[in-house]
Amino acid sequence: MSTNNEVPDDVQEFATKLFNFARNGDLTLAEYIDQGVDVNMSNQDGNTFLMLASYSGHAELVDALIARGADVNKHNDRHQTPLAGVIFKKEDEIIDALLAAGADPRFGMPNAIDTARMFGREDLVAKFEK
């Protein structure tokens, strides 16, 4: 049972379920968004569905979230963006999808350019600096 300042247990359980859909690449999440769940909802760490789906390598869900208006430049509480977060995971298909949707490689801290340098992805540094 929750206290006065906490989120009710049932709401917290529902939110946890949604974020697990993002982590697991479950396209059921898109159906919930179509029914009114905020595509840019973030968890206690500021991670959005897009951040979690990107980081977990779920390209199909990333595309579905982008198609529903996910903010590709929204950073989490550590100022990381989905683009910077996915670089070291070597998910090039997701990197391309984020870029095509307007992800800015200069946004966030560290930004995607610095992250690419840190992980020896000079191919991406060149791509981002165009």
pLDDT at 6: 79
Domains for the chain: give ranges and CATH numbers.
9-128 (1.25.40.20)
Per the structure block, which two tokens stand in for 56?
């977990």
Per the structure block, which two tokens stand in for 125?
């540094």
Q: Average pLDDT, whole number, for the chain?
A: 94
Residue 93: count of CB within 10 angstroms of its CB: 13
Start-to-end CA span in the chain (Å): 53
Q: For CA atoms 58, 63, 69, 74, give the dihedral sign.
A: positive
pLDDT reading at 3 higher than 70: no
pLDDT reading at 55 higher than 70: yes
Where is pLDDT greater, at 97 or 9? 97
pLDDT reading at 2 higher than 80: no
